[in-house]
Amino acid sequence: MTRRAVITGWGRCVPPVALTNADLERLCDTSDEWIVARTGISERRISHVEGTDLAELAARRALACAGLGAADLDLILVATCTPELLCPSVAAMVQHRLGAVNAAAFDLNAACSGFVYATANVTGMVQSGFVERVLVIGVEKLHVAMDYRDRSTCILFGDGAGAVVYEATDSGAGVLSVDLGADGSKGGTMVLQAMGTRGDPYGGRTPEETRLHFEGQAVFKIAVQGIAGSATRALERAGLGADDVDIVIPHQANGRIIESAARRLGVDSERVFVNIGQLGNTAAASIPMAISDAVDSGRVNPDDVVVLTAFGGGVTWGSIVMQWGDRTEPVGTHEGELPPTDATVFDLLESNLDFYAPLHADEPPAT
């Protein structure tokens, strides 16, 4: 039998503080109706801790779900475009916190496609026999780069983390095929210049170079074509078609993008998992968070054909076709939680709002 990487554990970490559409109405010229109609998002989460803290908790939950200890891991791979520090990597910090003394560790940045790119790396390493058990985490603290008076970007993005455990198997389940791609000539459509979210992420920087540059209409067109094309190629490589798919778990970029890409792919909406409404676009964290939600809500069954597909800055895209394993129930659970906070969402955004205020000095305040 072919040696493959199969998911055996899953977990997520959702920050407790929500930024609702009603909150955004107080910050910029927008409305709940306008946001929901264009994105499908009602709220997104703002983290009161560093992304590494989110990653650690999601990792502990995934390990408990798989019934593994940290010392069982051969590798920790973190997908992120908003690391706490550039060096040491988030993966190395998580490795230390978990006590994963036998694991190598590194970060990967393919923006919103990061989890798919990470899974592709794991697939090759498992097939080669280099690793047996790998922890893959997607984590983002995106609110640092959001100008909350710019409705074209701030309505979309949120913070969070998701994690999965991949193990080697010869059961026939696991990753069946991979498709990856990139087009650097279109990289200017999504640009994030700043690095490192720890402490004061705004110190010594200008608002212009810190906030996310995002060309929404251009991204929409590229994303729909990229996701549908990539998923189609991955299915063809697996010898499958759209009718064979039990569930698509896409990057939660935008409700309209997901709907359009699914139509182009030929998969009806009942077979597409969407959880963007309460979480927003969490970039590299969105697919592992969605996997966790999909499994826990009973949307994934043993032996299901699952398609993961994403599009991100760079620009990058990628898809994974896998056959789910024989288990959809966790072996165990981790009871830990994030430290509590009394901060309101506006407390958490205060430094952000002050930093970006000079860009909007001549504009009337939102009502």
Largest alpha-carbon pair distance within the chain?
A: 66
Q: Which of left, alpha, beta for 99 (phi over 0: left; psi -120 to 50: alpha)?
A: left
Mode of pairing for the β-strands spanning 305-312 and 316-323: antiparallel
Catalytic residue chosen out of the listed positions 13, 81, 143, 251: 251
Phi, psi of 87 (to 5 degrees): -150, 125
Both structure tokens of 274: 């969407």
The span from the CA of 279 to the CA of 51, in Å, is 15
| SS3 assignment for 296-350 | HCCCCCCCCEEEEEEEECCCEEEEEEEECCCCCCCCCCCCCCCCCCCCCHHHHCH
Say which of 109, 121, 281, 352 is annotated catalytic: 281
The token pair that represents 60 in the structure block? 């502990």
Catalytic residue among 28, 65, 81, 112: 112
The distance in angstroms from the start CA to the end CA of the chain is 63
How, if at all, do strands 104-108 and 75-79 pair? Answer: parallel
Q: Of 65, 43, 13, 24, give the one whose Cα is nearest residue 329.
A: 65
Contact between residue 98 and residue 165 where contact means Cβ atoms under 8 Å apart: no
Determine whether 251 is an active site residue: yes
Spatial distance between the Cα atoms of 26 and 350, rounded to a whole number of angstroms: 13
Are β-strands 190-191 and 213-214 bridged in parallel, bridged antiparallel, or unpaired?
antiparallel
Q: What burial class does residue 255 get, using C-beta atoms within 10 Å of its C-beta: 0-12 exposed, 13-18 middle, 19+ buried?
A: middle
- Calpha distance 338→20 (Å, rounded): 21
Annotation says 275 is catalytic = no
Amino acid 117 reads Y
| Structural tokens at position 277 | 């409404």
Does 281 qualify as catalytic in the annotation?
Answer: yes
Q: Which residue has the tokens 């190629």?
A: 233
Which residues belong to the active site? 112, 251, 281
